[in-house]
Structure 1
């Protein structure tokens, strides 16, 4: 199997995405990892999380994040021998000796020129927080694929982990699909479901769906490399689209016994 040259696009994450990037690196040649730091990145929505979940839940998440940051620095001191660079996107890139950069606009002309020179066969997205426009979508010969934490076409849009719990769903899932100029709109390469009936927090649910999504991405890359990948339509008229929750919806979420963490 010829390994594809792959660019990874994502956002800052300490808990799930670094491990998925590492898994993907076992079946492809990752040539660069790009973090997109924009208005819709989760790191830049802390104020919204405070409005939705309140001080106690945000403080609890803050404590967990601080411990993860400590693990990151311990890992760096050890030469990545303890946590193997899996405490941040930047660190997993350094551990794998892969170029890493942070950008603010996925569709910026200068970034497009950079990607054109790099000539990746494929771009893979793990929670990349911006709509990718046609100019970038058309650059890699195998296109751009994304992993979304739901069973598309249902639960398109923002925070499927919130909406799955809000709607008291018992089964969740993940989908790898081609990206188009619309949100979660491209044809589906593969998907699978996972039992979320024991999940009372978004963090636990995300742990399940992100793990599944990482496994599906590995399988998708393998099939694209081997020329065996198949797709089916993402029939968006048969699924629901969700945006960011309102404060009222977040209070209803908490009233049902669900939590952020």
Structure 2
């Protein structure tokens, strides 16, 4: 069996992937069963300029410095552990998930199960068809908070608790059947960046128990329309939306 993990090149995500891969033996799997597909984070020059033009409260800038320090420390700490992961699993560097080179690579690899983890691209149908079963990790309540960066919208709506939601991936955004939900707290003493990092700590548990259900459970997944909750889709938050978070708490 080949299992694909699709991630952006982010040290906080890599940290949790290492934790997860150290647990896969409990499912009768081996680290050599995994292929990790890594791409660079997508740049959004319009949004970058928008953030540059808006004055944020001090809390925002303090948190950015905290995140920068955490990244540097974690990068040093995990360097040797990531080398081991690279030696024991298969690492693929990709440019875009929908590029012709990536689609060709996926055709060659014949991935049985694919997990998209905090991914920053919409995956097109031609790409999805190259993976036998595809799932997405979304750090927000579904079907309440479909769309980009749900932490921002949940904080603006005063949610106290959220879920790392593993769901079936379809051509529509965040609308597939729910496989597993792992709760995490939203802390209003912290801002968007630190709450995102906090949510990532739910990734290993969500993947382990979700994969256990996918591989060994015969019960159907939960359809999102079985929730008596209004479905909502949120656009990518603007700099002004993010700024509002830092005046809360």
Query: TM-score, normalization: structure 2?
Result: 0.80
Local SS of the residue matching 1:248: helix
Q: Deviation per CA, 1:53-75, whole angstroms, max 9, x where unpaired? A: 74853464245324532552465
How many pairs were matched up? 239
- Asked whether the 8 Å contact 2:11–2:74 carries over to 1, the reply is no
- Asked whether the 8 Å contact 2:163–2:181 carries over to 1, the reply is yes
Q: Which runs of 5+ in 2 are unaligned?
A: none
- Asked whether the 8 Å contact 1:53–1:250 carries over to 2, the reply is no
The aligned counterpart of 2:178 is: 188
- Asked whether the 8 Å contact 2:111–2:131 carries over to 1, the reply is yes
The aligned counterpart of 2:238 is: 246
Q: 2 CA distance for matches of 1:116 and 1:252?
A: 44
Q: CA deviation at 1:173?
A: 1.4
Query: TM-score, normalization: structure 1?
Result: 0.77
1:7-46 alignment, distance < 5 Å? 7-15=4-12, 17-25=13-21, 26-27=23-24, 28=29, 29=31, 30-37=33-40, 39=42, 46=48
Local SS of the residue matching 1:181: coil
Residue 54 (structure 2) pairs with residue 64 (structure 1):
no
Q: 2 CA distance for matches of 1:11 and 1:184?
A: 18
CA distance 1:39–1:45, change in 2 (3 Å): farther
The aligned counterpart of 2:152 is: 162
Deviating above 6 A after TM superposition, structure 1's stretches of 4 or more consecutive aligned residues are none
Q: CA deviation at 1:139?
A: 2.4
Q: CA deviation at 1:138?
A: 2.2
1:69-218 alignment, distance < 5 Å? 69-73=72-76, 75-76=78-79, 80=80, 84-85=81-82, 93-94=85-86, 97-141=88-132, 143-196=133-186, 199-218=189-208
Q: 2 CA distance for matches of 1:36 and 1:58?
A: 27
Q: Which runs of 5+ in 1 are unaligned?
A: 86-90
Q: CA deviation at 1:181?
A: 1.1
Over aligned residues, Cα RMSD in angstroms?
A: 3.1
Local SS of the residue matching 1:255: coil
Q: 1 CA distance for matches of 2:55 and 2:231?
A: 27
